[in-house]
Structure 1
């Protein structure tokens, strides 16, 4: 049996923040090629996997190139298992593992003449129905997503519904101009106002359904978190407390009117989903945290066993790869969180969802 991959190349590209990212290109025995890359988080949970410097990843690519060249048939689960073994042995980083996993999956889709989302559903025995996920679209950014000295005390204020984002931005910019508050671009394409007054921003957005990413690193007090939730039209709150404050998490998620979402708490790991299952009712799923497509699917299966809502998410710094869109459709994600479409690296993912569902 002939080898299915003839050439495997690792390259350095620039992400949405003009920082290095890894890209893997595979040239196949049928003369077609696939390209894969993945984003990286500016804000990271403390239990996330270990990243690999892009230059180091390219230098050490021989470890992966050999495995690609040895492939005579595709087996995603086995390939992903081998990748994670390399990660555990500290031969590759978690970012390199995921990029290789996506590249393998894309090559497999070409050989099986399937769309990527179709292959994911077939390979992992997922329901074949297609559901359009709701969009959590970032509007305003603070915390580590803003380079301003004076910034919002939470990481993101988002609008639920992509069709609402232009109107919400217009209202927000009018407020900032009226108040004489300067603003810049945030990391994910949102507005980064030079103010620490989060409530001022939220107060003009009362006609929208809102989602907050507080991010545990911001360390808001319990009283501050509760004030924001009680005085605004917030339907989703992500990482409201530190992972040591499990009592606060559990009490909050018992409220029926809000989706309490774990990201830094669970970092797409099955062991942490099991450990903290009583703390949240929605979960951020980031393949970059899991390290392979298979491990990401495993995390989703477990979260669904516990009846959690699924939010497939990008990272703070993204690439032009639209894999996340196919992945979100394939697993019937309840929500997607891809950032503001003002950045091309985010827009390409929203556009791909629309194309799939057309």
Structure 2
């Protein structure tokens, strides 16, 4: 049986050296699950609330655990997540913290899968998932909120759309990352790494485009399949007093739309995330009309994995893709509902990590379970490769 008999919460480290919440869930038949909450640096205004870790743990122990232990079956994820909502009593987890909620929610799913003796993706997705696997988006050059004194655009992404397997895609992204390092060295440009392991050189966006485009070309020749370029612009972070403030330029909304449309055409972008401010549904719709037949226009800060905001976007045609981050909304149930609503309305779900990560691999299973076409996991770094290596294992064991 999967009756929850214990929930244990503790403080652990994330990839930036900050504290985060880890949850263990135990069931009466010996099932065990563990999960950890990630944390973002570039966060949307409408995300569920992440509380200071000590406060989140203390409040969840007081408010949530009595509703779970001995009361709810781990095998019924909707009941578990409903209990978390009831314990919190708000629409943004501002009482027990989305960091506690998502760790408990994901750990419970792991415990239920353990009882069944099945991989998590099978428990979450059952038999309805398709035969495909998500294409990993590899962050190879980054700036914005992820690295100081680097590019204005937050992420330059390798998108190995032609890879015949997840394994090939994973190693292609790593090769692009390495090729960028070689090109930086050739140009005498020193570079450290940002939060997600991407190179963070002190260069402008135009130089980054040049280097990443060249690195992709080099790796394409080596691997023999197509790799495209993608972006996470994190434009809400650039939007100040009604304009988009770049290091060397200022653009109003119309100019920003034109700029992104020109980039999409020039570089044949496969993907562009958050190209406009998080409240600009109309601007997203206009850009989608311009480039959406060729490029995924993805809302992250725009939608924050929230069905109400996604419904608003659907109504006006804002974007054609939704970024999915479980900690933005707090539970797996809410997460999957956002995926399902998006898919039903032609929005491609992109399952995503955060800049502050752990070795937790839940999102790899979630991407496979929901048949998501893409997953953002980074390209290098232990907390990033944990997800990538798990995808390889899943692919080879299905």
Q: Structures share a fold, TM > 0.5?
A: yes
Q: Deviations over 1:162-188 (max 9, x none)?
A: 332233223322332233322111111
166-175 or 179-188, which deviates more: 166-175
When normalised by structure 1's length, the TM-score is 0.92
Q: Give the aligned partner of residue 119 of structure 1.
A: 123
Structure 1: which 5+ runs fail to align?
none
Q: Give the aligned partner of residue 229 of structure 2.
A: 210
Contact 2:352/2:375, CA 8 A, preserved across alignment: yes
Q: Does 1:322 align with 2:322?
A: no
Q: Give the aligned partner of residue 173 of structure 1.
A: 181
Contact 2:25/2:104, CA 8 A, preserved across alignment: no
Find 2:321's aligned residue among 275, 282, 287: 282
Per-residue deviation, 1:38: 1.8
Find 2:276's aligned residue among 241, 252, 264: 241
RMSD, matched Cα: 2.0
Q: Give the aligned partner of residue 302 of structure 2.
A: 265
Q: Give the aligned partner of residue 207 of structure 2.
A: 200
What are the residue-to-residue correspondences of 1:43-122 with 2, within 5 Å?
Answer: 43-60=42-59, 61-71=61-71, 73-74=73-74, 75-89=76-90, 90-122=94-126
Structure 2: which 5+ runs fail to align?
161-169, 218-226, 245-250
SS, match of residue 64 in structure 2 = helix
Distance 1:54 1:345, change over 3 A: same
245-254 or 150-159, which deviates more: 245-254
Contact 2:77/2:333, CA 8 A, preserved across alignment: yes
Q: Does 1:347 align with 2:385?
A: yes
When normalised by structure 2's length, the TM-score is 0.83
Per-residue deviation, 1:72: 5.6
Hey, what's the Cα distance between the residues in 2 that align with 1:128 and 1:232?
32
Hey, what's the Cα distance between the residues in 2 that align with 1:108 and 1:212?
37
Hey, what's the Cα distance between the residues in 1 that align with 2:193 and 2:181?
12
Per-residue deviation, 1:3: 8.2
